[in-house]
Amino acid sequence: MSETYDFLFKFLVIGSAGTGKSCLLHQFIENKFKQDSNHTIGVEFGSRVVNVGGKTVKLQIWDTAGQERFRSVTRSYYRGAAGALLVYDITSRETYNALTNWLTDARTLASPNIVIILCGNKKDLDADREVTFLEASRFAQENELMFLETSALTGENVEEGFLKCARTILNKIDSGELDPERMGSGIQYGDASLRQLRQPRSTTTQTKQQCNC
């Protein structure tokens, strides 16, 4: 049952209530739309193994409750997340306006190096749109976020969102910007990469001999 993978990443899905966080997760994992979705009590999670840039990466995804009354509870799960999907609903300006708060929470409570992708969900409801693509992409740019418009209903861009985030994290690992060995990085080596690690390491790792803890 245990699949081999090179890395395990901890992901968060955050954003206001009713933006479709659980549906995005469900679509990503089950490849179908969750018709009768309830609000999330605190936290749920799911996982999926994906292939990114020749590496197998398992995403452990924590889907948090959007409702304000669960905020203090869900915040405690932010710690040690490597990536996050920050979700708003393109048909609800209110959920868009709340983004700054969610972003502050994520940056302060999770790792400061957390890689965040902004997802404007419910792309299929274009007729009811209250937030333009341009406006949101400016916001993303200003806050150094990646950005996609998604639809949990049709599945459009859902996988892309998760993959994009995972790819960025991998790139940061390769460039040395992220250190998977640091506690709370939200990254774990899988069995596959551990086998490689057990062998004498290449020169690239020699540079980080010093453990700065």
CB of 93 to other proteins, least distance (A): 25
- DSSP letter for 152, please: T
Torsion, Cα of 169, 174, 176, 177 (10° steps):
-20
Are the C-beta atoms of 72 and 64 separated by less than 8 Å? no
| Nearer residue to other proteins within complex by CB, 175 or 199 | 199
How is the chain split among helix, strand and coil, in percent rounded to 5?
35, 25, 40
> Residues 17, 45, 113, 172: which binds other proteins (CB under 8 A)?
45
| Nearer residue to other proteins within complex by CB, 144 or 198 | 198
DSSP 9-23: EEEEEEESTTS-HHH
Task: Answer yes or no whether residue 35 interacts with other proteins by CB under 8 A.
Answer: no
| Nearer residue to other proteins within complex by CB, 32 or 194 | 194
| Nearer residue to other proteins within complex by CB, 62 or 139 | 62
Are the C-beta atoms of 90 and 149 separated by less than 8 Å? yes
Give Cα 206 distance to the centre of its chain.
30
- The C-alpha atoms of residue 162 and residue 144 are separated, in whole angstroms, by 17
Task: Answer yes or no whether residue 50 interacts with other proteins by CB under 8 A.
Answer: no
Candidate ranges 22-30, 121-129, 141-149, 187-195; the one touching other proteins (CB under 8 A): 187-195
> Residues 76, 97, 100, 141: which binds other proteins (CB under 8 A)?
76
> Residues 51, 79, 97, 101: which binds other proteins (CB under 8 A)?
79
Taking CB under 8 A as the criterion, which residues in 93-122 touch other proteins? 109
Task: Answer yes or no whether residue 209 interacts with other proteins by CB under 8 A.
Answer: yes
- The C-alpha atoms of residue 139 and residue 84 are separated, in whole angstroms, by 16
Triad 63, 67, 69: Cα angle to 5°: 120
Task: Answer yes or no whether residue 77 interacts with other proteins by CB under 8 A.
Answer: yes
User: Hey, which residues does 48 pair with through a beta bridge?
Assistant: 59
Binding site for other proteins (CB under 8 A): 1-2, 8, 10, 38-39, 41-45, 47, 58, 60, 65, 69-70, 72-80, 109, 181-184, 186, 188-189, 194, 197-201, 205, 208-211, 213
